Structure 1
Amino acid sequence: MLPNMLLQQLPVADWVESITNWLTNTLSGLFGFIQTVGQGLMDWMTNYLTWINPFVMIAIVVIGAFFISGRKLGLATFSLIGLLFVLNQDLWSDLMSTFTLVLISSLVSVVIGVPLGIWSSKSDRAQAVITPILDFMQTMPGFVYLIPAVAFFGIGVVPGVFSSVIFALPPTVRMTNLGIRQVPEELVEAAESFGSTGSQRLFKLDLPLAKNTIMAGINQTIMLSLSMVVMSSMIGAPGLGRGVLSAVQRAQVGTGFVNGISLVILAIIIDRYTQNINRLMSAESKAIDKDAKLKQMKVRRGVLIGSIVVIVVSAIVQAVMG
């Protein structure tokens, strides 16, 4: 009897199908609203980016790269050559569509992921529940996320964003949790001994010290969002991924290579931008700390000199009076 029970196939596929159909029918109004608003937002952002003259956009990116990289020419030169190459290959509008998809997906992932990471760092029970879910999200093939995305939102850019968020969310949650948990216990005890509230400790101690780790997670989230571009094109998302997919279907090696190189250029620029922004934020924090220490030293020096002057004057007055 037991072997027969073990050999009997569980209708897992039917269960998942039933749950998906129930969600689609029950929340059809919500999904329709998200589809309409999301599609309108994405179209507006893409149209605005393509409305800007490409040479103006390239100049903005290059100048920004020059300053955030510490006035070094490496990133600025690469950005200039890479973006001019994309423009020369008549892929500028596809590049802007891809950038819009990556930007929205990354913002949504960060808005959801950072609070989840904070919650997970503050509660072992929450971490025990969230960690297996993140493992599931990271190990499941990205193509699988396209199925419920199409069922919920239909064809277009919104299901692409939905699948990208699920695929790219875990690094932000994990790195936020890790960064806050790595805050030295001595500093936490010192903050609590001075009567700091939970919010004060979070915003003035935990997040500043965990900033570099959190930014590393956000960087990985952006890269994973970009890696979903090609897969999202299978369900109607516009951009460079659509060119890669079309080239694969038609065995056009040259077209696929050009679209792939354009994706690589965008990925490198975004990656270097986020890394340099993180470096600048760290340098600014160190500069602020240095200025604070200098001011503190000046105050102590002033107090010491003032005390010496008071002592000397008091001794002179006492000697004269005596």
Structure 2
Amino acid sequence: MFPDSLNLSIRGPVNDFIQALVSGYGWVFKAISAVILKAVLFIEWILRGLPWWVVILIFMALAWQSSKRWTLTVAVGVLLFFVGVLGLWDLTMQTLALMLMATIVSVVIGVPMGIFVAKSRTVRSITLPVLDVMQTMPSFVYLIPALMLFGLGKVPAILATIIYAVPPLIRLTDLGIRQVDHEVVEAATAFGGSPNQILFGVELPLATPTIMAGLNQTIMMALSMVVVASMIGARGLGEQVLNGIQTLDVGKGLEAGIGIVILAIVLDRITQGFGKSRTEDPRNG
């Protein structure tokens, strides 16, 4: 047995730190919570307010724009129609709203952070181990501080999802920027391009396929948090799965699980299509 005298617990300091945040900066977290809640409710209001066939047409248009393939476009329409047939349309729109909000915030954080990491060796050496911890930490752990700081509901679910889902976007943005051909960057520099012009005119466009792959992974990881986030008050398909577990209703859980899978397939194919179309664009070389 390991000697008790050598035990060192971080539980106390961590709990004290979180408690100090809650008592000292509670107003900050309330303000953040109010902004995020209004944004996600607005997205949810739009998605739930639109006629179902309009939402399906929008996704079919995105599928066509991303791939220019009728097979994918029709498949997206059929899959979303099947979600409605299963009686999961409203729950799916709630889940989609939460996931879109988490993805938008992840992009706002992840892409600039990835650029910063790519431009600085020091920042990269510090950030990559942190991202390793964020990706390997059990997802349930993120629910505890989110719950303490923001209470029950959609906001802590979104923030826990962001923490879990943003690392792939940071990593692949960093990778995409670093993989840009140095000769292209040198040519742009020789023609008098400023660092910002080179970043936005050369590096980011060439790194777009890799960044889109990171976005795809972020969306998939956000969807994987749907059921976990339902434990702290997030509505939607995850709550339906959780109810199925609690009541041992296999059919209910399976239906909601199918809805999550369909949503994942649709979003995965659309984002992959945008990444591939960028790669195959003849203007890219």
TM-score class normalised by the smaller sequence: over 0.9
Residues 44/200 of structure 1: CA separation in 2 closer, same or farther (3 Å cut)? closer
Alignment match, 2:241? 244
SS in 1 for 2:87: coil
1:25 maps to 23
Who wins on radius of gyration, i.e. which is larger? 1
List runs of 5+ in structure 2 lacking aligned partners. none
Q: 1:10 is paired with a residue of what secondary structure?
A: coil
Question: Secondary structure at the residue paired with 2:100?
Answer: helix
Q: SS at 2:180's partner residue?
A: coil
Identity of aligned residues (%): 43
Q: TM-score, normalised by structure 2?
A: 0.94
The whole-number CA distance in structure 2 between the counterparts of 1:60 and 1:110 is: 21
User: In the alignment, what sits opposite 1:52?
Assistant: 50
CA distance in 2, matches of 1:208, 1:36: 35
Q: Which one of the candidate residues 163, 167, 172 is aligned to 2:169?
A: 172
Give the Cα–Cα distance (whole angstroms) in 1 for the partners of residues 262 and 125 of structure 2. Answer: 39
Q: How do 1:100-119 and structure 2 match up within 5 A?
A: 100-119=97-116
What letter matches 2:41 in structure 1? D
| Structure 1 residues 122-163: Cα deviation after superposition (integer angstroms, max 9, x where no partner) | 110010111111011001000000000100110000001100
Displacement of 1:51 in angstroms is 1.2
Read off the aligned partner of 1:172 and give its amino acid letter.
L
Counterpart of 1:217 (choices 214, 229, 251) is: 214
Secondary structure at 1:275's aligned position in 2? Answer: helix
Q: Match of 1:137? A: 134
Residue 180 of structure 1 deviates from its aligned partner by 1.1
Which of 260, 263, 275 is equivalent to 1:263? Answer: 260
After superposition, the C-alpha distances for 1:270-304 in whole angstroms (9 at most, x for unaligned) are 011111122333445x24x68xxxxxxxxxxxxxx
The whole-number CA distance in structure 2 between the counterparts of 1:50 and 1:196 is 46
Cα-to-partner distance string for 1:6-38 (whole Å, 9 max, x where unaligned): 843213111110111111112100111122222
The one-letter amino acid of 1:207's match is L
Aligned to 1:194: 191
Tell me the amino acid that sits aligned with residue 180 of structure 1: I
* Correspondence 1:147-166 to 2 at 5 A: 147-166=144-163
Q: Secondary structure at the match of 1:210?
A: helix
Q: Which residue of 1 aligns with 2:40?
A: 42
- Structure 1: stretches of 5+ with no match in the other structure: 291-322
Tell me which residue corresponds to 1:319. Answer: none
Question: Over the residues paired in the alignment, what is the CA RMSD in angstroms?
Answer: 1.8
State the partner residue of 2:75.
78
| Cα displacement (A) at 1:212 | 1.0
- Read off the aligned partner of 2:35 and give its amino acid letter: V
Using the TM superposition, give the Cα deviation of residue 67 of structure 1 relative to its aligned residue in structure 2, in angstroms: 4.4
- Aligned pairs, how many? 284
TM norm structure 1: 0.83
